[in-house]
Amino acid sequence: MEGQIRQSLSGFYDVFSDGTLYRTRARGNFRKKRITPLVGDRVEFESETPKEGYILKILPRHNALTRPPVANVDQGIVVTAVKAPDFSTNLLDRQLIALEISQIAPVIYFTKTDLITPAEIAKFETLAAGYREIGYPVILTAQPFEQTGLAQLRELLKDRVSVIMGQTGAGKSTLLNHIAPDLKLATGEISTALNRGRHTTRKVSLMPVAGGLVADTPGFSSYDTLTLDYRELGQYFPEFAALAPQCRFRGCVHINEPNCAVKAAVDAGTVLQSRYATYLQLVTLLKNQKPVYHKKK
């Protein structure tokens, strides 16, 4: 049979197939080959009863994350507070880049809009328009969690596997509770069970929300460090990648080269200056990064 892992807990994997959830374990050779099944994996399995079965094979993954440990993620909802904590275009861009690297489609959801003035809202509208121009869905309403914004997000969640990410205090769990109020108690229990240092149990699951599936562990944080060649960075800025063929030089890094289409677009105001500033900062960071050598065991 084929199915999708919906939950992992203490070495057990709950696989959903044809409307039924099967409790399974991984075959012993998985450990020998150092293969760990992940929530979100499509798998082949055998099971005589829903309470007992074995995973035989993990089908090819589209992508895989380490925090949360979920595979085959379609999109990441970047929950971004406009205030408290203070908004940072740099942090937002780093989160978007991390999703691009992981081949996960980003969605930007602004929260805490009730804490800023109408004039500040207007500035965020301009910024949101710039991100929409890149191709990112952006949800920004005058009041946080307005029904129009929630309806837009519900439509985006439908038929997709999503992760929720953002700074502590940005409102990730609150957003989930507005989308699916019945999750309120479950979210609290999950966050308690995942309290690092106090519990050895690690429970990860995909929750049915708005016709899609959402990982129950907000806090995707793979954007903390980037490990790639600085010359590859531009391809993870969609607007840079689209302009690159117009640059004079193949392999243009968009910094010092003449006749660079990206720099021309920044000067013309068709590429966000803040995005280019983030790019320059990250290029410098990646250039100065010391290589990591892994010792052979």
Binding-site residue numbers are 111-114, 166-174, 247, 252, 254, 260
Cα–Cα nearest to 73, from 188, 171, 220, 202: 220
Tokens of 245: 């063929």
Q: Does the N-terminal peptide bond of residue 50 adopt cis geometry, omega within 30 degrees of 0?
A: no
Alpha-carbon separation of residue 191 from 153, 184, 185, 187, 205 (angstroms): 23, 11, 10, 6, 12
Q: Which residues contact 83 (CB under 8 A, 6 or more apart)?
A: 112, 115, 116
Pairing of strands 20-26, 42-49: unpaired
Q: Which residues are annotated as a binding site for GTP?
A: 111-114, 166-174
Angle at which helices 147-157 and 172-179 pack, to 10 degrees?
90
- Preceding amide of 68 cis, omega within 30: yes
CA distance 237 to 243: 10
Annotated binding site for Zn(2+): 247, 252, 254, 260
Q: CA separation (Å) from 33 to 30, 36, 62, 198?
A: 5, 9, 20, 30
Gap between the Cα atoms of 262 and 246, Å rounded: 9
At 180 the three-state DSSP class reads: coil
Amino acid at 53: G
Residue keyed to tokens 């609150």: 174
